[in-house]
């Protein structure tokens, strides 16, 4: 039993070290040899542009449900005029970055792991190495750069669509004063709120690329190995995003 415990502990510490090294080396490569612009543009299209539909859809319904719930709560205090503020602050500070990141994790993070994992098991990564080419430059750094650019932009789009979703329900369906909706929002939302959302989404982009690439790069054998890596990637990324969100919120509050 002691032997098994020791074996597991050594395995966990080794994996954590490898995962940490992966992040450090990826950042080093971004700074030293970021690769060709075309590779980054391709990844921007994949991670950013192709996530637009799911982000818009999720944002619209998140804003609409916030409009409903917010109205229900605020009418108890006779403050339905504050609905715009409630919707905007919830989205900009918290829900925009987190939900956008979780959506991108499901759509692009899983695909990143599967793509790199398949390249690993079919020896395509070994082929790059035998050509004296660093696989990080071609497979990893473009995804890091694209995710760190895409996430803040997707988050901004999420926020705007969500605010209009809340407006649709609050103003158009439930009769909140349209002037109050936007006026109170403008009065309450400050640069620090937007900045906080930006920092969060930027760091979530880094986490999605980090875990997605790491899990694919070290995927196990065969189709089962890639399938396991993809599942672990989505679960681990989602958990890290939520935990990191708590720590970041406590610092940025």
Binding site for other proteins (CB under 8 A): 118, 122-124, 126-127, 129-134
**CB nearer to other proteins: pick between 133 and 239:** 133
**CB nearer to other proteins: pick between 136 and 214:** 136
**CB nearer to other proteins: pick between 129 and 186:** 129
| Closest distance of CB 150 from other proteins, Å | 20
**CB nearer to other proteins: pick between 37 and 133:** 133
Q: Using H for helix, E for strand and C for coil, what is the string for the chain?
A: CHHHHHHHHHHHHHHHHHHHHHHHHHHHHHHHCCCCHHHHHHHHHHHHHHHHHHHHHHHHHHHHHHHHHHHHHHHHCCCHHHHHHHHHHHHHHHHHHHHHHHHHHHHHHHHHHHHHHHHHHCCHHHHHHHCCCCHHHHHHHHHHHHHHHHHHHHHHHHHHHHHHHHHHHHHHHCCCCHHHHHHHHHHHCCHHHHHHHHHHHHHHHHHHHHHHHHHHHCCCCHHHHHHHHHHHHHHHHHHHHHHHHHHHHHHHC
**CB nearer to other proteins: pick between 116 and 155:** 116
| Closest distance of CB 40 from other proteins, Å | 16
| Closest distance of CB 111 from other proteins, Å | 12
| Closest distance of CB 135 from other proteins, Å | 11
**CB nearer to other proteins: pick between 100 and 125:** 125
Whole-Å CA distances, 180 to 5, 66, 80, 159 = 61, 17, 9, 19
| Closest distance of CB 26 from other proteins, Å | 14
| Closest distance of CB 231 from other proteins, Å | 22
């Amino acid at each position: 039993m002691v032997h098994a415990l020791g074996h597991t502990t050594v395995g966990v510490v080794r994996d954590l070290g490898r995962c940490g090294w992966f992040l450090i080396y990826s950042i080093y490569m971004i700074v030293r040899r970021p690769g060709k612009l075309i590779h980054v543009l391709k990844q921007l299209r994949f991670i950013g542009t192709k996530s637009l539909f799911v982000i818009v859809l999720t944002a619209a319904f998140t804003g609409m449900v916030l409009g409903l719930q917010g109205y229900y709560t605020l009418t108890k205090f006779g403050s339905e005029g504050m609905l715009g503020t409630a919707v905007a602050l919830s989205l900009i500070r918290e829900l925009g970055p987190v939900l956008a990141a979780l959506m991108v994790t499901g759509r692009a993070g899983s695909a990143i792991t599967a793509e790199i994992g398949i390249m690993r098991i079919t020896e395509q990564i070994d082929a790059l190495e035998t050509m004296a080419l660093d696989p990080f430059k071609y497979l990893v750094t473009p995804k890091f750069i694209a995710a760190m650019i895409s996430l803040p932009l997707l988050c901004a789009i999420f926020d705007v669509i969500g605010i209009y979703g809340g407006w649709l329900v609050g103003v158009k369906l439930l009769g909140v004063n349209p002037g109050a909706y936007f006026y109170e929002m403008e009065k309450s939302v400050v640069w620090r709120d937007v900045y906080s959302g930006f920092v969060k989404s930027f760091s979530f982009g880094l986490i999605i690329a980090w875990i997605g690439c790491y899990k694919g790069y070290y995927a196990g054998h065969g189709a089962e190995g890639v399938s396991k890596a993809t599942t672990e990637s989505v679960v681990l990324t989602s958990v890290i995003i939520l935990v990191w969100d708590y720590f970041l919120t406590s610092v940025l509050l």
